[in-house]
Structure 1
Amino acid sequence: MISLCAFFVPFFVYLLSLSPTISFRDSGELITSSWTLGISHPPGYPLFNILGKLFMTIIPIGEIAFRMNLLSSIAASTTAILIFFIVKTILPKNNFLFPIFSAFTLAFLPLFWEHSVISEKYILNCLFFSLIVFLLVKLEKYHSRFYLYLFSFFLGLSFTHHFQTIFIVPASIFLILTISLKSRKKIKIQSQKPKAILLRIPYSAIFNLLLIALLFILPIALWFYLPIRAYVNPPLNWGDPDTLDKFKDHILVKHYRSYFVGSIKQQVLNLVSHLNFFSTQFKITLIFSIIGWIFLFIKKRNVFFFFFIILATNISYSIRYNIPNIEDYYLPSFIIFASLSGYGLSFIPIRKFAFIFLVFPLFSLVSQYEKIEKSSYYYAYDLGENILRDLDKNPVIFESSDNLSSPILYQRFVLNKRTDCLQISLPFLQHPWYTALLQEIYPKKFSFSITKATKVLTLSDYLGGFIDHNIDSSIYIDSPNYITTHNVFPAGLFYKVAFLQKKDISYKIRGQDKAKDQDSQITLENYNIANSLLKIVD
């Protein structure tokens, strides 16, 4: 019963702080992709799309985005209880307080909590990661093939979601080989017919290897979701992976290779910067994690090196990757540190009063609640609704950022609002697959692109060609800086390539007192700029 607290206490907090709808960045895109069974940004997240669609369909509660957010909360709470059982497994004695401490430490870690109340892919990855770690520490303790079979299956399944799974592969190989060598040393041949026994061993090993390989490969087949769905042109079809080359480019994230850095100097600078993530997230609890590392090395060296290799792999990969949200890539390491916080606490010689230390994760809960809770967070939803409200009939809109594209996608394809709108992503116009897909779906509007797109030197030229070919359409763009060939005028939150007609602008903006995060503040600033420009023109 105590173990259930590791699930239900975080889940209750997540429900109180759960976002009622979409958030900024990838949220709207991922929900739209899942709801329409489309193709998300690389590597495509087939498992996430299928699970999300199933969950949003069978759960009749709230808005569609809310259901997906609820799935994140369930996955996060399940991760917390898995941390409980990981710590319980590696502890020398049966104790519930220290596993609870670890579970709460992770559950109320600011970054983990933030992702637990919105729709993002990282929490499902945390669930798989903690499940795989749990199975391997069970394997290390009990040497049962059952855990090895489960490990193989869930490792393959995890790879159909996010490639952060690679962080655990080298460590898993190390631990499994260590367990195997340890088991072989214990084998004592007592039979009078050793040859008969030795003859049976290879066949048993071959069978096990084949079964392990099969269990790994079976879920990998989910990747065929991408070309199958791309073939029918879903509303969101990122990369259009309906050919072998485009399929490989998508799952191998060719689109993001430019974010990787080769400079050793930059990697060292990133390392110094990234190490600060641990102190920022864990604060004083980091001391218990360090104690846990020390005693794990003394007491359970195999598990120590298993955890250490995960950490080293995670860091060595992430310092080479330059993206704004790189801290998200350290969630697997945060899971390890959270697990070791309770383990380390168990060696502090004040066990009778150890429950007092629960104040640390609870302090994180209380101190971070107002900043993280999103129960009245409608900024992204309202932004998408307000943008579409300003547009004429059958408009074409060019947008250039995730914080614009995701809310608009959600409004159009999940809520079926402004289905007359043609939405075009400016950054994607540099990719041949995207212009070819637009040409295939909208042949009349893009008939110029076959001959001209290969010759244009600038984005402005491409936009100019599109406008000249679609002069009768209402065309909007989010910034005047992208186009120099035509005049644009402020028309609400976007600019219109047309004669400006005066509008009475009165936007719905809910929860302005909750505008504490950077995305919301930028959105409010954009509202003010739009209103100011309209007043100037009038």
Structure 2
Amino acid sequence: MATLPPALPGGDAGELITAAYELGVAHPPGYPLFTLLAKLVMGLLPVGSPAFRVNLLCSLLGAAAASLLFYTVFRLSGSYAGGILAAGVFSFSRLTWQWSITAEVFSLNNLFVGLLMTLTAHFEEASTARERSKISKFGAFCCGLSLCNQHTIVLYIACVVPWVLSQLFRKMELSLGHLLKLGLCFLAGLLPYLYLPASSYLSRARWTWGDQTTFQGFLTHFLREEYGTFNLGQPGDDLAQMKSELSLPVLALALVACVNTVLPTKQQKSPVIWLFAGMLCLYSLFFSWRANLDITKPLFLGVVERFWLQSNAVVAVLAGLGLATLASVGSTMLESSCVLPWLEWLSALTLVTSQIWANYR
């Protein structure tokens, strides 16, 4: 709360707050889910200015995202320390904190990233066809809903959806009827986009972006054609930025989680870890392919670096799983050792503390 801006922050926050306050349409792709959530919070919270209320909303969404990272690691490994590491190093990184206390769409996107990974872990651990069916339907809905915010998450969806469908097919649980239900759940998640033509048609906002009363106008806004649909930032050294934001030991632990999956004695859920690693690789490769901003310039770097949050969340989860892997392997080699749990916790707390010290001293 001490770092929360009491009024209007910089960047796109002013536009997003105005769009929510007047029920207008924000810049492409419109961010209807964020707009509606912000409007709801403005009406429900009795404290502070409208800007402060939306800032507070984003901070709460950021906290929820960190909780989901913790739960994902714990669900897959049973390690509390690994979960604390994942949530801590991600939450206290400079970028995460910076974009979780202002009225921006990135903390909500982080929440959906955490939710996708949590649901994936639940699906992997599901023991019955009924449970897998419920999780897959809810996951399909969440995939659609997440696209009502930040479109970059489609790169993670492009990995998760084929993986889930292949798992259902392998278990002979993917019927045509179930596939249709998944499609309907996905479309239901996209329903907030109806807000765009509705807002444009009513024309009550003093400020709004574009005209979505026609299908072509809606499609132009939805596909970000005014920006370039798939244009992002100039490729940089992804490892360098991850090292800067999360530290070298965290990257090493993430690598441990991946390497462990090819060893004879697997301690983790290998398919899920490879899925997370694939999500990370696809995201990084796509950024390198669709580059159009010169990040050597501070202004453009500030625009682009926000999108690194999505990959940092996956690295944090892999690091938590890597720490749990080392602790599990160590306990196998050193049976009945009471020192290893303490070392696991000490490692997690040391890395989180160093993250705080590096960014907030």
- Structure 2-normalised TM-score? 0.85
After TM superposition, list the pairs within 5 Å mapping 1:418-457 onto structure 2.
none
Q: CA deviation at 1:272?
A: 4.5
Distance 2:165 2:186 in 1: 18
Q: 1:210 aligns with which of 169, 173, 180?
A: 180
Q: 2:112 aligns with which of 119, 123, 128?
A: 128
**Do the aligned residues in 2 keep the contact of 1:174 with 1:306 (CA within 8 Å)?**
no
Please tell me whether residue 359 in structure 1 is matched to residue 345 in structure 2: no
The amino acid across from 1:295 in the alignment is N
Distance 1:275 1:66 in 2: 35
Q: CA deviation at 1:101?
A: 1.4
The amino acid across from 2:11 in the alignment is R
Distance 1:27 1:55 in 2: 15
**Do the aligned residues in 2 keep the contact of 1:241 with 1:247 (CA within 8 Å)?**
yes
List per-residue Cα deviations over 1:59-90 (Å, max 9, x = no partner). Answer: 11111111101111110110111011110121
Q: 2:286 aligns with which of 290, 300, 317?
A: 317
Q: Name the one with the larger helix percent.
A: 2
**Do the aligned residues in 2 keep the contact of 1:170 with 1:309 (CA within 8 Å)?**
no
Distance 2:48 2:115 in 1: 29
Residue equivalent to 1:330: 308
After TM superposition, list the pairs within 5 Å mapping 1:22-421 onto structure 2.
22-91=8-77, 94-142=78-126, 144-184=132-172, 205-233=175-203, 234-257=205-228, 260=231, 270-284=234-248, 285-298=250-263, 299=266, 300-319=269-288, 320-323=290-293, 324=300, 325-348=303-326, 349=330, 350-357=340-347, 358-369=349-360
What secondary structure does 2:69 align onto? helix
Residue equivalent to 1:475: none
List per-residue Cα deviations over 1:124-182 (Å, max 9, x = no partner). Answer: 01101210111112111215211111101111111111211211122113321342244
Aligned-CA RMSD value: 2.1
Distance 1:235 1:155 in 2: 32
Distance 1:351 1:292 in 2: 18
The amino acid across from 2:253 in the alignment is F
The amino acid across from 1:124 in the alignment is L
Unaligned runs of 5+ in 2: 294-299, 331-339
The amino acid across from 1:73 in the alignment is S
Q: CA deviation at 1:228?
A: 1.2
Residue equivalent to 2:335: none
What secondary structure does 1:257 align onto? coil
Distance 1:259 1:101 in 2: 33
**Do the aligned residues in 1 keep the contact of 2:257 with 2:319 (CA within 8 Å)?**
yes
Distance 1:43 1:271 in 2: 23
List per-residue Cα deviations over 1:369-396 (Å, max 9, x = no partner). Answer: 26xxxxxxxxxxxxxxxxxxxxxxxxxx
Unaligned runs of 5+ in 1: 1-14, 185-200, 262-266, 371-538
Q: CA deviation at 1:308?
A: 2.2
The amino acid across from 1:222 in the alignment is P
**Do the aligned residues in 2 keep the contact of 1:30 with 1:120 (CA within 8 Å)?**
yes
**Do the aligned residues in 1 keep the contact of 2:257 with 2:273 (CA within 8 Å)?**
no
What secondary structure does 2:185 align onto? helix
Distance 1:175 1:213, change over 3 A: same
The amino acid across from 1:209 in the alignment is L
**Do the aligned residues in 2 keep the contact of 1:40 with 1:236 (CA within 8 Å)?**
no
The amino acid across from 2:138 in the alignment is L
Distance 2:354 2:5 in 1: 22
Distance 1:219 1:170 in 2: 16
Distance 1:97 1:154 in 2: 28
Distance 2:217 2:91 in 1: 38
Q: Which has the higher contact order (CA 8 A, sep 6+)?
A: 2
Q: CA deviation at 1:361?
A: 1.3
Residue equivalent to 1:488: none
**Do the aligned residues in 2 keep the contact of 1:171 with 1:306 (CA within 8 Å)?**
yes
Q: How many residues align?
A: 329
After TM superposition, list the pairs within 5 Å mapping 1:445-484 onto structure 2.
none
Q: CA deviation at 1:114?
A: 0.7
**Do the aligned residues in 1 keep the contact of 2:69 with 2:87 (CA within 8 Å)?**
yes
Q: CA deviation at 1:122?
A: 1.0
What secondary structure does 2:227 align onto? helix
Residue equivalent to 2:297: none
What secondary structure does 2:226 align onto? helix
Distance 1:271 1:229 in 2: 36
Distance 1:361 1:210 in 2: 44
Distance 1:342 1:25, change over 3 A: same
- Structure 1-normalised TM-score? 0.58
Distance 1:297 1:103, change over 3 A: farther
